[in-house]
Amino acid sequence: MSVLQVEEIGIAFGGVKAVDHVSFRVNEGDVFSIIGPNGAGKTTLFNLVSGVYQPKYGKVLLEGADVTGLEPQTLARRGLSRTFQNLQVFFRMTARENVMVGRHLKEKRGLLAHILALPATARQNRESAAAADAYLERVGLGGYADTPAAAMPYGALKRLEIARALAAGPKVLLLDEPAAGCNAVETEEIEKLVRNIADEGTTVVLVEHDMKMVMRISDRVHVLEFGKTLAEGTAEEVRTHPKVIEAYLGTHGSKEAAVALG
């Protein structure tokens, strides 16, 4: 059974069909990539799946259960978390605190205990901090724990978002351009990390522009253009799909495309 299933989903903004009857299924433990030219509707699709936008029609199923239109915080409880294309980091907090927020659902939340700083709260804080440190270590940010997020470099913030999303313990993790703006070394590290996350059983849905990375790590690739599905298949199938090449480079560029994508 697929862990995440999207059926005929769509939304329009002022008459523009940003996402138009898109369907796909993601198998557990897979890396599932969504690609397409700029403005194809990839991020909008993510916003629909993660509950940030309400779809106009269509369904989202998480582990077989209909979760269409649920709020992001409810989806988080059901095991779906995500990162953002434009950094959404808690800049006024340290790296460790950022990831500790990711532990939110695992924390004991008794307001009175918090205000009175009961021993249980101190214990909870220590637990969350330890867990956060482990996640920071895992994404390679162990040295940044006490650094205010505002003082961290861009590439590190990209990974901080991943650590925070992982801390929520998701079954399905949506990563929106995790390598955007990163240099070659950083991109390689993120690629390794994504592969590693999937190998440990967390399903990854990926939006990414770095085609080399997508082609290397994806189990399946879904191609969007103008909000519609263009093609879906394995990396190899998509790479050689004539419509995909046309979408990316136009009819005339297909020869060069074969070289570029290959």
Partner 1 sequence: MRKLMSNRLAVPAFLALLVVGLAFVMPSNFYFRVAALVWISALAVIGLNLLMGFAGQVSLGHAGFFGLGAYSVAILPAQFGLHPVIALIAGGAGCALLAFVVGRPILRLKGHYLAVATLGFGILVSMVISNEAWLTGGPDGMPVPRLALFGWRARGADTWYWITGGLMVIGALLAVNLVASPTGRALRALHDSEVAARVVGVDVGCYKLIVFVISAVYASVAGSALALVNGFITPDAAGFLHSIQLVTMVVLGGMGSILGSVVGAAVLVVLPQALTVFHDYEHLMLGFMMMAFMILLRSGIVPSLSMLIGGRRA
Partner 2 sequence: MAEFLQFCASGLTVGAVYALVALGFTIIYNASDVVNFAQGEFVMIGGMTTVFATAAGVPLPIAVLIAILAAMVIGLLLHRLAIEPARGASPVTLIIITIGASIFLRGLAQIVFDKQFHSLPAFSGDTPINIGGALVLPQSFWVLGGAVVIVIALWAFFNRTVTGKAVLATAANRLAARLVGINTSFVIGLSFVLSAAIGAIAGILVTPITLTSYDIGTLLALKGFAAAMLGGMGNPIGAIVGGLLVGLLEAFGAGYISSTYKDAMAFIVILGVLFVMPGGLLGRASVERV
Sign of CA dihedral 238, 242, 244, 250: positive
Alpha helix locations (H) across the chain? 42-49, 72-78, 95-102, 111-115, 119-138, 154-167, 184-199, 211-217, 235-239, 242-249, 254-261
Instruction: Compute the CA torsion angle 154, 159, 160, 166 (nearest 10 deg).
Output: 160
37, 39, 72, 155: which one contacts partner 1 (CB under 8 A)?
72
Host H or E run for residue 82: strand 80-82
Question: Residue 11 or residue 221: which is nearer to partner 2 going by CB?
Answer: 11
Contacts of 151 (CB under 8 A, 6+ apart): none
CA distance 38 to 230: 14
Determine the interface stretch with partner 1 among 3-11, 29-37, 66-74, 134-142 (rule: CB under 8 A). Answer: 66-74
Which structure tokens are listed for 129? 């901090």
* Phi, psi for residue 173 in degrees, rounded to 5: -120, 125
Query: Does residue 178 touch partner 1 according to CB under 8 A?
Result: no
Question: How many of the chain's residues bind partner 2 (CB under 8 A)?
Answer: 9
Shortest CB 73 distance to partner 2, Å: 15
8, 12, 92, 243: which one contacts partner 1 (CB under 8 A)?
92
Query: Does residue 52 touch partner 2 according to CB under 8 A?
Result: yes
Question: Residue 45 or residue 235: which is nearer to partner 2 going by CB?
Answer: 45
Q: Which residues pair with 233 in a beta bridge?
A: 221
Query: Does residue 171 touch partner 1 according to CB under 8 A?
Result: no
Alpha helix locations (H) across 168-209? 184-199
Shortest CB 131 distance to partner 1, Å: 12
43, 124, 187, 202: which one contacts partner 2 (CB under 8 A)?
43
Sign of CA dihedral 18, 197, 96, 149: negative
Determine the interface stretch with partner 1 among 6-14, 33-41, 118-126, 234-242 (rule: CB under 8 A). Answer: 118-126
CA distance 257 to 262: 8
| x-or-dash string of contact with partner 2, 84-123, rule CB under 8 A | xxx-x-----------------------------------
With CB under 5 to 8 Å by kind, the binding choice for 260 among partner 2, partner 1, none is: none
Contact set for partner 1, span 122-151 (CB under 8 A): 124-125, 128, 148
Shortest CB 200 distance to partner 1, Å: 19
CA distance 12 to 237: 30
CA distance 251 to 46: 29
Shortest CB 243 distance to partner 2, Å: 29
Residues within the interface to partner 1 (CB under 8 A): 50, 52, 71-73, 75-77, 81-82, 84, 88-93, 97-98, 100-102, 104-105, 107-109, 111, 113-117, 121, 124-125, 128, 148, 161, 164-165, 167-168
Interacting residues toward partner 2 by CB under 8 A: 13, 43, 47, 52-53, 84-86, 88
